[in-house]
A = this chain, B = another copy of it.
Amino acid sequence: MAQIDETHDPGLRSWVASANGHPDFPIQNLPLGVFTPPGGGVPRGGVAIGDMVLDLAAAHAAGLFTDEAARAAEAAAGGTLNALFALGAGPRRALRARLSELLAEGGAGRGEAEACLHPAARCALHLPSRIGDYTDFYVGIHHATNVGKQFRPDNPLLPNYKWVPIGYHGRASSVVPSGTPVRRPNGQRKRADEAAPSHGPSRNLDYELELGVWIGPGNALGEPIPIGAAAGHVAGFCLLNDWSARDIQGWEYQPLGPFLAKSFGTTVSPWAVTPEALAPFRAAQPPRPEGDPAPLPYLWDEADQREGALALELEVLLLTPGLRERGLPPHRLALSDARHMYWTAAQIVTHHASNGCNLRPGDLLGTGTISAPGEEGCGSLLETTQGGKKPIRLASGEERRFLEDGDEVLLRARARREGFATIGFGECRGSVLPAPACAAAPGEST
């Protein structure tokens, strides 16, 4: 499954100077995305290399790719990567091999490739795909436990948790790329001490630290994906902030689950980090605690248990107006790791398709909040502040129970392993805009 080759060589350096030692995008990463170049034009596929973006359509037009790599570059030339994701691992791997060669110090074709580079800071970065459907899971067992404890202190996890990779359908239309501001939603809220709900801006706006999974080839309706084949249907990973309005959620979610508490915005990092780039950071799925059931046969695969997990540091930072004014650095809200997923990416893919549900290229799966044990590992304010009961104090003197207007949340991911170049995911950031004005009652002034 996880194949290490010359593209992972930690000694490899690029003639794109900013790539060497780049915290996210050294030549060993080569993530895929969609961008508009500084001069404008139509969105097109690109690859991040250091502080630059390589235009895949232009590089293809310049004749830099042949065979399978050309097929991949051609599929990436349009405004979305759906067609590239549909091709599966073969062409994607060929593209990676060729890009590694092209961008490496001393690589032939540097002149032509250099003409296809744009400074990333001056490009507009888009969603990598047209998302057909977005599904959010709940695989962070520490998160599920922390949240469950607030309702059932002695029995935080529901009886199905260790059997079923719990998930729900999310809203695809409101998934936005990093940097897009998120408007605080209005909605119905009802505190325990209120007799009736009222409609207005959410008072308990939260973030959620998640990984996103971009779907590759997918399956036809009615044809499940066996667990042994599931990894082949993952085209890439991203960071995902599942913004959540806890007060709206608390009032609306019975009996059909979260709805408007989530669908006002979901932020993803724009670069799809490929399974190939992540091959060195594969890890064994941590053994289940004594007494936990084994996964049912349809979710059990030896190779997946052996290397289906990801060793990936996950970090959440908060930048408030007060910190910004005083020139203080962002406050670290959480440090976690993708190894705290109770189910692997392959298991959620297989479970999702187990009823015959068709996954399509470019679909997005969220893992659910990935918290680590302990207060510093909490992937949401619901956990960190215990639903607002224990505010966080910041170096600026500010307090936070939940997010306030003007706050900015940043997610980061970093994969490190002795003997390999560290790679990252780039930023997943978004700041909170005030809620729009509410509709007034008839005859009521706004």
Contact = CB atoms under 8 A, between A and B. Distances in A.
Given A183-B222, A197-B296, A199-B297, A169 B259 contact: yes
A251 B298 contact: no
Interface stretch (A117-125, A327-335, A352-360): A352-360
Interface in A66-95: none
Contacts of A436: 222-224, 356
A174 interface: yes
A354 B260 contact: yes
Given A173-B221, A173-B360, A187-B354, A257 B260 contact: no
Interface string A347-376: 000011011111110010000000000000
A322 to B, nearest CB: 25
A43 interface: no
A258 interface: yes
A250 to B, nearest CB: 10
A444 interface: yes
Given A226-B439, A254-B158, A354 B199 contact: yes
Given A169-B168, A169-B171, A196 B439 contact: no
Contact of A163 (B197, B221, B248): B197
User: Which of under 10, 10 to 19, 20 to 34, or 35 or more describes the interface residues of A?
Assistant: 35 or more
B223 A173 contact: no
A16 interface: no
A37 interface: no
A49 B218 CA distance: 38
Interface in A294-321: 296-298, 300, 302
A188 interface: yes
A265 interface: yes
A284 interface: no
Contact of A185 (B132, B251, B298, B356): B356
A164 interface: yes
Contacts of A174: 221, 356-358
Contact of A221 (B253, B265, B360): B265
Contacts of A263: 169, 355, 357
A185 B356 CA distance: 6
A248 B164 CA distance: 10
Contacts of A173: 132-133, 221, 357-360, 363
A160 interface: yes
A232 interface: no
A291 interface: no
A116 B168 CA distance: 44
Given A163-B197, A296-B199, A357 B256 contact: no
Interface in A395-446: 433, 436, 438-442, 444
Given A263-B169, A439-B226, A356 B296 contact: no
Interface of A: 132-133, 135, 138, 158, 160, 163-164, 166-174, 176, 183, 185-188, 190, 196-199, 221-224, 226-227, 245, 248, 251-261, 263-265, 293, 296-298, 300, 302, 351-352, 354-360, 363, 433, 436, 438-442, 444
Given A133-B171, A174-B356, 9 more contacts: A164-B251, A164-B252, A166-B256, A168-B169, A168-B257, A169-B263, A174-B221, A227-B439, A264-B355
25 contacts: A133-B171, A138-B256, A160-B188, A160-B197, A164-B188, A166-B259, A167-B259, A168-B168, A174-B358, A183-B221, A183-B222, A187-B355, A197-B296, A198-B296, A224-B436, A226-B439, A256-B257, A257-B258, A260-B352, A261-B355, A263-B357, A297-B440, A300-B441, A300-B442, A302-B442
